Amino acid sequence: MSVLAALRFLLPWEFSPVALAACALPAAAYLAGLRARRASGRPEGGLRTLAFLVGVGSIYAVMQTHVDFLAQHMFWIHRVQHLVLHHLGPFLIALSAPTETLVAGTPRALARRLAPVVSNRALRALYRTLQQPVIACTLFVGLIFFWLTPAVHFYAMLIKPIYLTMNWSMLIDGLLFWWLILGPERAGAPRLATRMAMLVAIAIPQAILGAYLTFRAAPLYDVYGLCGRAFAISPQLDQQLGGLNTWIPPGMMSALGLVVLASRWMRADERAPLRASGQLGRAG
């Protein structure tokens, strides 16, 4: 592929100002926040910065480059697209713990306008409901099964508003779920053990669905034949590759999440004796 062809591939397939703003504005606020924190003597870690920028960049790549075209013409690339929207991108953003940096980089005028939205009681109640562990797990897995139901998937790939609803619902739900799993320890948040159990709970049905798609003898998604496949592979192989992308990488994401939570648990256990000794010292 020539440099010119590579650049063309990175241009939007179907330009969306909403998708551009959803990626560019947080990235700009984050970069401004990095400068502000560095100036105040509280620089952000390099790995966290990399995680946030790669997370936002990967979401932009699958929504606004020609990857989006390929996802509409190959089932296995569609599954890669949703892996990024529902798992990888939100995982990296949540792992970066970007709240303080984003707040530091948000212009004051915009922050004042956003304050009523953030403090809205109805929205906060909805957020708390969606962040209940059982509801969060059900919604996370349920959306995958819903959009992969053959009849639903057929119309989602042919009708643009449904297609956009599918992709945005996966992204928003992914951000909510992984923020619940990897977000900061705060009042009302699930315990680490509960979060670890949630990761196991979502991994099992995804593995079952992925295995079903991989080993099913007959193709389920004839819409890609109707639209024309981008690459000359059989419908069966296309579905098998898509099944593997539904099965293996999401399981690895759950495993990686378990490693992150386990490391936090160990650090908390290491700090516990220090806190106890400090309290005894003050009491003495």
Write the pLDDT tens digit of every residue in 37-59: 998 888 888 899 999 999 999 99
Least confident of 14-28, 112-126, 160-174, 180-194: 180-194
User: How many Cα atoms are found within 13 Å in the side-chain-facing hemisphere of 274?
Assistant: 5
User: Taking 90 as the threshold, does the pLDDT of residue 153 lie above it?
Assistant: yes
pLDDT at 6 (0 to 100) = 74
pLDDT, tens digit, 9 for 90 and up, residues 65-81: 999 999 999 999 999 99
User: Taking 70 as the threshold, does the pLDDT of residue 116 lie above it?
Assistant: yes
How far apart (Å, rounded) are the C-alpha atoms in residues 56 and 53?
5
Residue 276 in domain: yes
CA-to-CA separations, 193 to 132, 133, 251, 261, 264, in angstroms, rounded: 14, 12, 18, 9, 11
Least confident of 5-9, 41-45, 255-259, 262-266: 5-9
The reply to whether the predicted model has a pTM over 0.85 is yes
User: Taking 60 as the threshold, does the pLDDT of residue 1 lie above it?
Assistant: no
- Give alpha helix (H) positions in 148-234: 150-158, 160-182, 192-215, 223-227
Place of tokens 């053959």: 150
Report the pLDDT averaged over residues 73-101: 96
Residue 3 in domain: no
pLDDT at 50 (0 to 100) = 96
Range of the domain at 135: 13-283
Q: Which helix (H) or strand (E) holds 78?
A: helix 75-83
- pLDDT-derived band at 130 (thresholds 50, 70, 90) equals very high
Residue 39 in domain: yes
> Which residue from 246, 267, 266 is spatially nearest to 75, judged by alpha carbons?
246
Residue 231 in domain: yes
- pLDDT-derived band at 10 (thresholds 50, 70, 90) equals confident
- Print the SS3 string covering 230-272: CCCCCHHHHHHHHHHHHHHHHHHHHHHHHHHHHHHHHHHHHHH
Residue 23 in domain: yes
pLDDT at 64 (0 to 100) = 93
User: Taking 70 as the threshold, does the pLDDT of residue 277 lie above it?
Assistant: no
Tally of domains in the chain: 1
pLDDT at 267 (0 to 100) = 81
pLDDT, tens digit, 9 for 90 and up, residues 183-225: 887 766 788 999 999 999 999 999 999 999 999 989 999 999 8
Residue 179 in domain: yes
Q: How many CB atoms lie within 10 A of CB 103?
A: 12
Residue 1 in domain: no
User: Burial, 5: exposed, middle or buried (Cβ in 10 Å; 0-12, 13-18, 19+)?
Assistant: exposed
Residue 103 in domain: yes
